[in-house]
């Protein structure tokens, strides 16, 4: 299978598994990622997700050019671009924190996938790039927006307009990754961090994730909706609706 999925107690692990192509993303892999994230959305036992890749040559070299180069502009938009947006947005929006574990290359769509995670840990030999301009296109899976949010507009422009890679040391200095570790220590540290997070109150962790970096309006709306949904008045409103009568609200 091109993407593995397994659960170990409170931690789920999603691993790209196409090492012969440096884990370049194709439609099947996007579908598998989407399916696994959908499963996680209904999973109340998993508290943290590790997003990684088999082998150590690459986390993900990007989108498989053979999967999209033959598409028409309409097909490109309707299938390939939209599918990537949908899957990456679902990863970013999962209730559980997602930690990307990066060893080797994270280029183009691969870097965009890592950007959809909440935290990024990288090995010292990792390299990061948005090289799309070198083949006369641009980042297509939210790379321009997420990269700007994480490292700032000027640095995002430098990476995207030049297409040149940066090493792990620069990535950490710019805030693109949270920690850089020797390759033999990377997985152990990622698991330790996942376990540390999973020991905390899950609803508090998940609520904090939704609040951080989001617009105040969306956060307040979500909290207000949750609070009001469990008031006595809300129960009365639902009961009155079912009984086809006017509700009698008490303000509590």
Is residue 132 annotated as a catalytic residue, yes or no? Answer: yes
Residues 8, 39, 52, 112: which is the catalytic one? 112
Helix (H, G, I), strand (E, B) or coil at 243: helix
Q: Is position 41 annotated as part of the catalytic site?
A: no
Helix 216-229 vs helix 202-211: crossing angle, to nearest 10: 140
By the 8 A CB rule, do 95 and 206 touch?
Answer: yes
Any idea what DSSP says for residue 133? G
Write down the residue that tokens 């641009």 correspond to.
138
C-alpha distances out from residue 244 to 228, 233, 235, Å: 21, 16, 14
Torsion on CA atoms 211, 216, 222, 223, rounded to nearest 10: 80
Q: Which of 28, 132, 179, 243 is catalytic?
A: 132
CA distances from 96 to 12, 122, 209 (A): 10, 20, 8
Give catalytic residue positions. 112, 132
């Amino acid at each position: 299978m091109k993407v593995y999925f397994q659960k170990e107690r409170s931690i789920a692990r999603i691993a790209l598994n196409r090492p012969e192509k440096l884990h370049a993303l194709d439609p099947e892999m996007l579908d598998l990622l989407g399916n696994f994230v959908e499963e996680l959305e209904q999973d109340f036992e998993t508290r943290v997700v590790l997003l990684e890749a088999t082998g150590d040559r690459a986390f993900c070299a990007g989108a498989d050019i053979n999967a999209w180069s033959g598409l028409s502009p309409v097909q490109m938009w309707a299938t390939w671009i939209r599918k990537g947006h949908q899957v990456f947005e679902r990863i970013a929006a999962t209730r559980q924190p997602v930690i990307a574990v990066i060893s080797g290359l994270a280029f183009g769509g691969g870097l965009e996938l890592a950007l959809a995670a909440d935290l990024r840990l990288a090995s010292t030999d990792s390299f990061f790039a948005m090289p799309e301009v070198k083949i006369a296109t641009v980042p297509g899976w939210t790379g321009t927006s997420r990269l700007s949010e994480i490292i700032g507009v000027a640095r995002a422009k430098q990476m995207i307009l030049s297409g040149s890679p940066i090493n792990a040391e620069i990535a950490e200095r710019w805030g693109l990754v949270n920690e850089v570790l020797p390759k033999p220590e990377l997985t152990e540290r990622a698991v330790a961090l996942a376990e540390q997070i999973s020991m905390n109150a899950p609803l508090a962790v998940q609520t904090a994730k939704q609040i951080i970096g989001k617009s105040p309006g969306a956060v307040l709306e979500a909290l207000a909706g949750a609070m009001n949904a469990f008031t006595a008045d809300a129960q009365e409103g639902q009961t009155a609706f079912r009984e086809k009568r006017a509700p009698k609200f008490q303000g509590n």
